Amino acid sequence: MKFKTVFVCQKCGYEAPKWSGQCPECGQWNTLAEEVKQQESKKEKKARSFTDFSSEVVKLSESKSVKEDRIPTGLGEFDRLLGGGLVKGQLTLLAGAPGIGKSTLMLQVADALAKNLKVLYISGEESISQISGRAARLGVKNPNIFLHCQTNIQNIIESVENVNPDVLVLDSIQTVYHPEFTSSAGTIGQVRECAAELVRLCKPKGIITFVLGHVTKDGELAGPKILEHMVDCVLYFDTEKDNVLRLLRPHKNRFGSTSEIGLFKMTGHGLEGVENAGEYFAQTSAQRALKGRAYTLALEGSRPLLTEVQALASPTHYPYPRRVATGVDLNRCLMLFAALEKHVGLSLDNKDIYVSIAGGVKLKDPALDLAICAAVISSVKEVAVPHDWMFLAEVGILGQIAKVPLMDRRLEEAQRLGFKTAFCAPVSKSEKQKITSLTLQEITEINELALKLR
């Protein structure tokens, strides 16, 4: 067996014979890491494989489909995120910043599944005593949960074959290494091969597998991009660890939608699901009109979220006014500011403008457009927006108002929350047939909204 030294990009997997500051493939800086690569023959490669995942060649017309029976975890937010529950043989990758609650969530999921299934929890980061201590704090003491601290993928495979679990949790993939590779754990080659071994092991046996992963300082999943292609579901914690509210978003889901989100709050007893998200995203308790505040209903999957948009326009003493957006796309805000200057006649060139979504959440719903415009107009004109007004529409660069999807669901939710007036694009009769106590102000141009805010 021969060895050679190569430099592998930890972002894209490009291999170079010598080190350089910039990867010639993806253009990233300081990502080339030295690895020892083995030059193996075909016989050696075949003998190296621990597990096998293959099937016979059959015709599609003769193949039989299997109904995907969902296995609920009992955690409402987590089940909704997965599309109703788990599927046998499903491989889920959970990523997030350090300390955000990945291990806590997995221990709670393991406890919920262990009521009817056998769970094997393997950790390469913590000792058994540390896991037991966290389990005691969370009140987890199910006898169907087995613990094992291991980083060798070959020993992990032996443990799975001995215990024969229904659910496998691996914390984390960056700590596991393949003994046939001399590179250190966490490198592209190690992560790729270890994940491949898990796929070949768990898919034929129908083992539900959770794999925890690290993220880089940019918030992206550490390791090769192929890792996301190998799994069935990729979940990201989309928030800072210092925030009480945790948002779990699916970036890939073969068995459900990727537009749903799961909302959790961190407590002393672990992560708890949040059903009423409006209390975090909007200060509805302040029943008074405020300057620079507007409400909207952002749709995340099938869930309307009451969202409070705040805007502050203040005079600037510098030649270049500042434009800052938190929780919403800055380029989208700049386009809306330009539309307000052009079609409403607002003078914004001598003002700093700050736009923020309350609660620290990041949203991309087009229904935010009209609420942002209303908040900016209110702040510039020093006119308070009534607390029972709702803004639900998309704004184009020509100043036109466009309807957003699922208006009937948004209007029903606004009515349920006690709002009295909703500004929106013209809606059909079927979309407003259940509206009784909500007055609709149907507008077609952005200047019509400006006339209402006087």
Give me the mean pLDDT over the 216-238 stretch. 80
Angle at 339 between CA 337 and CA 345, to 5 degrees: 90
Give me the mean pLDDT over the 343-356 stretch. 93
Q: Can you tell me the distance from the alpha carbon of 256 to that of 260, in angstroms, rounded to the nearest whole number?
A: 9
What pLDDT is stored for residue 1 in this prediction? 53
Q: Which two tokens stand for residue 233?
A: 């579901």
Of 5 and 204, more confident: 204
Choose among 340, 237, 258, 353: nearest CA to 301. Answer: 258
Tokens 């500011």 correspond to what residue? 337
Residue 51 has pLDDT above 60, yes or no: no
Q: Can you tell me the distance from the alpha carbon of 249 to that of 260, in angstroms, rounded to the nearest whole number?
A: 7
218-227, 275-284, 335-344: which range is least confident on average? Answer: 275-284
Residue 369 has pLDDT above 90, yes or no: yes
What pLDDT is stored for residue 83 in this prediction? 85
Model pLDDT for residues 62-85, shown as the tens digit of each residue: 877 666 788 999 888 899 888 889
Q: Can you tell me the distance from the alpha carbon of 118 to that of 100, in angstroms, rounded to the nearest whole number?
A: 26
Task: Output the CA torsion sign for 148, 151, 155, 158.
Answer: positive
Residue 357 has pLDDT above 60, yes or no: yes
Reported as a pLDDT band with limits 50, 70 and 90, residue 287 is low
Give me the mean pLDDT over the 245-271 stretch. 85
Of 358 and 50, more confident: 358
Choose among 262, 269, 247, 209: nearest CA to 96. Answer: 247
What pLDDT is stored for residue 411 in this prediction? 92
What pLDDT is stored for residue 381 in this prediction? 93
Mean pLDDT value across the chain: 86
Bridge partners (DSSP) of residue 193 are none
What pLDDT is stored for residue 58 in this prediction? 85
Reported as a pLDDT band with limits 50, 70 and 90, residue 96 is confident
CB 119 within 8 A of CB 165: yes
Percentage, residues of the chain above pLDDT 90 = 49
Choose among 390, 323, 386, 318: nearest CA to 354. Answer: 323
Contacts of 2 (CB under 8 A, 6+ apart): 38, 39
Give me the mean pLDDT over the 258-277 stretch. 82
Three-state SS string over the chain comes to CEEEEEEEECCCCCEECCCCCECCCCCCECCEEEEEEEECCHHHHHHHCCCCCCCCCCCHHHCCCCCCCCECCCCHHHHHHHCCCECCCCEEEEECCCCCCHHHHHHHHHHHHCCCCCEEEEECCCCHHHHHHHHHHHCCCCCCEEEEECCEHHHHHHHHHHHCCCEEEEECHHHCECCCCCCCCCCHHHHHHHHHHHHHHHHHHCCEEEEEECECCCCCECCCCHHHHHCCEEEEECCCCCCCEEEEEEEEECCCCCCCCEEEEEECCEEEECCCCHHHHCCCCCCCCEECEEEEEEEECCEEEEEEEEEEEEECCCCCCCEEEECCCHHHHHHHHHHHHHHCCCCCCCEEEEEEECCCCCCCCCCHHHHHHHHHHHHHHCCEECCCEEEECEECCCCEEECCCCHHHHHHHHHHCCCCEEEECCCCCHHHCCCCCCEEEECCEHHHHHHHCC
What pLDDT is stored for residue 15 in this prediction? 86
What pLDDT is stored for residue 444 in this prediction? 94
Tokens 């599309």 correspond to what residue? 83
What pLDDT is stored for residue 52 in this prediction? 59
Percentage, residues of the chain above pLDDT 70 = 90
Q: Can you tell me the distance from the alpha carbon of 234 to that of 95, in angstroms, rounded to the nearest whole number?
A: 8
| 440-447 contacts at long range (C-beta below 8 A, 24 or more positions apart) | 440/411, 443/393, 443/401, 444/400, 444/401, 445/343, 445/399, 445/400, 445/401, 446/339, 446/340, 446/343, 446/344, 446/373, 446/395, 446/399, 446/400, 446/401, 447/343, 447/344, 447/399
Model pLDDT for residues 143-177, shown as the tens digit of each residue: 999 999 999 999 999 999 999 999 999 998 999 99
Bridge partners (DSSP) of residue 296 are 307
Radius of gyration of the chain (CA): 26
200-214, 297-311, 338-352: which range is least confident on average? Answer: 297-311
Reported as a pLDDT band with limits 50, 70 and 90, residue 219 is low
